[in-house]
Amino acid sequence: MKKIALVICIFFSLSNVNSLSEVSSLLDAGIGDYKKGQYTFAINNLKKFIQTANENADKPKAYYYLSLSYYYTENYKMALNNFNALISKFRISSYAPVACFWIGLIYQNLKEWEDAEEAFLKYVSLYPRTDLTERAYFAAANSQIELEKYAEAEKGLKTIIEKYKKSDKFEEASVLYAYVLMKNGKIDEADKLLNEWIVKLGKTGENFKYRDRFWLYAAENKLNAKDYDSAKILLKKIDSYSKGSLSSDIALLRLSQIEEKLGNSKESKEYLIRLSSEYPLSKYNIDSTLSMGISEYNKDNFADSIVFFRQTIDSIDKNIALQKNNKPEVKRLNDLKISSYYYLAESYNKINETDKAISTHFEIINNGGNFFNESFLKLLEIYLSENKIIEAKKLIDKYEDKILNSADADKYLIYRAKIEFLEGKHSESLKSIEKIKNKNAFFQIIAKIKSNNYIKQGKYNEALSTLTDVFTQTPYTDKPQTAYEIAALYFNNRDYENAVKYYDIIKTYSKDSKSAEDKALSVKSDYIAGLSYMQLKDYKKGIETLKKIQNAVGFDTADTEIQKILNKSFYYVGWLYYKTSNFLDSAKNFGTASLLDIEPALKKDSFLMEAWSYFSNKDFQAAAQKFENIYKSFYPDEIGVKAYFQMGKCYENLKKTDKSLEVYNKIYKEFPDSPYKESAAFELIKYNLSVKNINETNALINALYSMNPDSTFYYKSLLIQAETFMSLNRYSEAFSNYSFYLKKTKDRENLDIIYYWAGYSAYQIKDDISSLEYLNILIDGYKNSNFFLDALLLQQTIYNRTGDLVKEKETINRILVAEKSPDKIQKYINRLDEIKLIESGLSKEEAELVLKSKSGKIEDLYALALFYYNRGEKERAAAIFKDITDKDKERLGARANNILGNIELDKNAYEEAARIYLKTATAFVPDADAAGEALYKAAYCYFKLDKPKLTQTLVDKLKKDFAGSEWALKGIEIEKRILK
């Protein structure tokens, strides 16, 4: 049995041994036996020592080694008893803390994880600063992980990695910390930690024991984010530099799964074969068998996939029996088993063995866990296909509540509506459809079910309305050729509304004929109408109309003209989908058009727009591949360079900065005559600014100027560079860029923004003249600008700073017209009043206080009164303080009352001053300081009035109620003077 053991070095202070008595010889012999690994002898000698020795300092030592001897003979019960005896009898012994730790290890060996957790947590609580504390944290976390208490484990592991960075457990604690963060759903935190370690590991992770786990956990996160390339890199590191590690087998499994997802079946299978041959005892060989089955299933080899899935299930059943005490592994195996059942059922269904499919799906249904919804819906599908309505109803009756409360409720309601339709319950069927929440996701099938129900109910108008997007109404036919020619004339004359009008007439009079001539006329009419709708920006109708051509005409048509129309319809439908932001369908149609025989210009545009559609759909990986194909096919044609440039933009969006820079650098350096050279230079400038590479940026901007001094990219570069300077607080350089731009640019758009930032950057470098110049241009010339008010506010700030009160007043009056916020309007009205007061001779501080005091707020009145009091205008201050004491009986009223007392005290009017001070304590609710001050100063007044008893009474109260305060200490000084 593998034991959890720990080498612990302990330095004890031993008592002096007076003589080698027989008893002490037993102790020495027992410890000697223990060190030789002769645990049975050690136990006998140490037990004798404990039984015969008197209580002395060596007895805890004997208990300690006796417990360890039992531990190493795997007699955990006796080890636990003796460690507990040691702790209870010799609690203050230096052996007690270590014994407490060993108790936790014993519980871990017994897999009694809750007791182990309790023991280690008790250790860190009692002994927070020992050599074993970090190990106790770690052992507690391990126990908590076994108990699936991941939140608690996270706290303990975090303590280790924050406080014990030099610990030999630091690496292991870090990898476990990443694991529990993932378990707790803190993926971003886990990623950050793992990325730090991956950098630390370097290429090979040499000398790092747990490198495989760091790579594996990081790969798992990449897989979940569908970043397969990054996941492969990490997993291959395990395969290359950490073979035979605990992660080697699962790394091969994951690599296989990635290749399968990417459609690389051959590579996927090779990894699975390696897993089986290199790690024959790996538990993931079961997963390997399942993956092989899925691979065969995806290739429609259902007979082979069935063999693999059954083999997987058999292997899982055997392993569950062997692993019954390993709950996490049993759970994992059960999840795999359910997955195997699902794919097995679908394999049976694919080869029409529906009875076996049904029974297998019921294995999942009865389990009630993963794949329940999928199997439930598949059973309904099978029952409907075989018209087994009774069986379907039984299934619904049993599980409807559960499926309705799931994410697949809408899918279920569609099946229920179908069943109700077949039962003739048309109103119920329509009600089921109305309960579907995400109707857009199932638009077509909903329309079909609803129309079928409406038809059965005789509600033909509702049925027609429902099917307008699905079916084309068969129109009457009369004079179709003439109407077509008129429509064509309108189209060529760009009168698209009348073209559409005559298209409707064509359909009204078209003959219900299947002749080739009528079909051709219908196709040509649809083509003109579709393009007319496109010009009128009625994109939905345009799609519907052109789609009719694709539905009506086959690629094997003998009519060359119709074939060309059909081919071009894919190109224009692609544009229509693109206009409606349905980029996926747009890409499909442009892709089809690029393969057909159409005009060269349209063909080139189809290639380009297919790639653009993927780009607009933010599928930058697919877009990059398409742009690369265009580049290889058309370079040195300009479309090739354009595609290559866009490939760089794709890499930029994919965060593959190195690849995007490679593209831009190649265009910039190797395509000297291409108009995209400026674009590439601009992209390089943006990148260098983003990394604050100012020197390289300057070189590129100068080069851009040399290429084309009037280039819009050059001026855009100046602005972006100026923004960077602003972010770096390099306002002087920012101002230089903005002012140069304003002097040189021919672009007259958004100049108000530039004027503002030019003014702002000049303000920051205290160039008020330049700042006001640009702000005035903005204020006078761009009254509707979003920066108009900001410019006024900055202008007011400058005049305030320079003390130009006249100009500041003018600016504030303009602000009051532009500002909408009542609070801000009041702020500037107050400032105008403040300026008037300053102009009347008040200082800025007094003016501010006077204005604030008009609010009537006690704190503002108090501040003004205090200002006058401190300036020596005591009578003026006293009037305000008196007003405060009348209005406020709280803290400030009490303080104001004290200052009134101070004024009387300054006059030596001790009787009046004492009366006022005592009023603070009786008529107000003062804070401690004001109350203490009032008592002290009242006592002082009575002292000056030679009234020692009253003085002493107040001092006693002061000492009692405000002991230790400044005023109590001063009161004691008065008391001393009374005694003298």
Question: Model confidence over 213-269: pLDDT tens digits?
Answer: 989 999 999 999 999 999 999 999 888 998 888 888 888 888 988 988 888 888 888
Name the burial class of residue 855, with classes exposed (0-12), middle (13-18) and buried (19+) by CB atoms within 10 angstroms of its CB.
exposed
340, 293 contact by CB (below 8 A): yes
Which band of pLDDT confidence, cut at 50, 70 and 90, is reported for residue 477?
A: very low
- What pLDDT is attached to residue 652? 83
How far, CA to CA in Å, does 742 sit from each of 345, 703, 757, 764? Answer: 72, 20, 11, 19
Alpha-carbon gap, residue 900 to 879, rounded angstroms: 9
Structure tokens of 393? 């109803």
Q: How many CA atoms lie within 13 A of 72 on its CB side?
A: 19
* Spatial distance between the Cα atoms of 832 and 626, rounded to a whole number of angstroms: 65
> Residue type for 770, please?
S
pLDDT digits 0-9 by tens, 63-78? 999 999 999 999 999 9
pLDDT higher than 50, residue 475: no
Which band of pLDDT confidence, cut at 50, 70 and 90, is reported for residue 905?
very high
Is a pLDDT exceeding 50 seen at residue 471? Answer: no
Distance CA 350, CA 371 (A): 18
- 661-694 burial, b at 16+ Cβ within 10 Å, e below that, comes to bebbeebbeebeebebbbbbbbbbbbbbbeeebb
pLDDT digits (tens, 9 = 90+) for 942-956: 999 999 999 999 999
- Predicted pLDDT at 911: 93
* Cα–Cα distance for residue pair 573/543, rounded to 1 Å: 6
What pLDDT score was predicted for residue 277?
A: 83
Distance CA(816)–CA(789), nearest Å, equals 10
Which amino acid is it at 885?
A: T
Q: Is the pLDDT of residue 162 over 80?
A: yes
Query: CB-based contacts of 897: which residues, under 8 Å, 6+ apart?
Result: 881, 885, 916, 917, 919, 920, 923, 924, 934
pLDDT band at 3 (very low <50, low <70, confident <90, very high): very low
On the question of pLDDT at 870 being above 50, the answer is yes
- For 397-417, the pLDDT digits (tens) are 998 898 889 898 988 899 999
Residue 15: pLDDT band (50, 70, 90) is very low
Residue 866 has pLDDT above 60, yes or no: yes
Cβ atoms of residues 26 and 48 within 8 Å: yes
Instruction: State pTM to two decimals.
Output: 0.42
- pLDDT of 460 reads 47
Query: What distance in Å separates the CA atoms of residue 68 and residue 75, rounded to the nearest whole number?
Result: 10
pLDDT at 594: 86
- Output the six-digit token pair for 866: 């205090």
Phi, psi torsion values for 209, nearest 5 degrees: -65, -35
Q: Average pLDDT in the 339-353 region?
A: 90
Structure tokens given for 629: 């194909």
Q: Residue 684: is its pLDDT beyond 50?
A: yes
Distances (CA, A) of 257 to 279, 296, 751: 17, 13, 55
Q: Which residues contact 922 (CB under 8 A, 6 or more apart)?
A: none
* Extended strands (E) in 161-238: none
pLDDT for the residue 330: 84
Given this model, what pLDDT does residue 6 score? 43
Residue 555 binned pLDDT confidence (cut-offs 50, 70, 90): low
Lowest mean pLDDT: which of 150-159, 568-577, 830-839?
830-839
pLDDT (tens digit per residue) in 507-543: 776 665 566 677 787 888 888 888 988 998 888 988 8
The residue assigned the tokens 């320079």 is 802
What value does the mean pLDDT take over residues 36-65? Answer: 88
63: number of CA atoms within 13 Å, CB side?
A: 27
Cβ 175 vs Cβ 210: under 8 Å:
yes
Please give the residue that has the higher pLDDT: either 722 or 340: 340
Average pLDDT of the residues of the chain: 84
Nearest CA to 676 among 645, 648, 697?
A: 645
Kindly report, residue by residue over 101-119, the tens digit of the pLDDT: 999 999 999 989 999 999 9
Amino acid at 254: R
Q: Alpha-carbon torsion 602, 607, 608, 613, what sign?
A: positive
Mean pLDDT throughout 259-287? 84
Radius of gyration of the CA atoms of the chain, in A: 44
3-state secondary structure 246-278: CCHHHHHHHHHHHHHHCCCHHHHHHHHHHHHHH
Burial class (CB in 10 A: 0-12, 13-18, 19+), 496: buried
Say whether pLDDT at 447 is over 80: no
**What single DSSP character describes residue 42?**
H
Sole residue written with tokens 């182990």: 116
Give the whole-number percent of the chain exceeding pLDDT 90. Answer: 23
What domains can you pick out in the chain, each with its CATH number?
A: 22-238 (1.25.40.1040), 285-466 (1.25.40.10), 472-552 (1.25.40), 888-979 (1.25.40)
Q: Residue 229: what pLDDT? A: 93
Cα distance between residue 58 and residue 15, in whole Å: 8
> CA 236 to CA 228: how far, in whole Å?
12
Q: Which residue has the higher pLDDT, 777 or 505?
A: 777
Q: How many CB atoms lie within 10 A of CB 765?
A: 15
Residue-wise pLDDT tens digits, 740-786: 877 877 766 778 888 888 888 888 888 888 888 888 988 888 888 88
Higher pLDDT residue, 25 or 554?
Answer: 25
Of 498, 493, 548, 558, the C-alpha closest to 526 is 548
Report for 17-21, 712-716, 844-848, 937-941: range of highest mean pLDDT: 937-941
Pairwise CA distance, residues 175 & 177, whole Å: 5
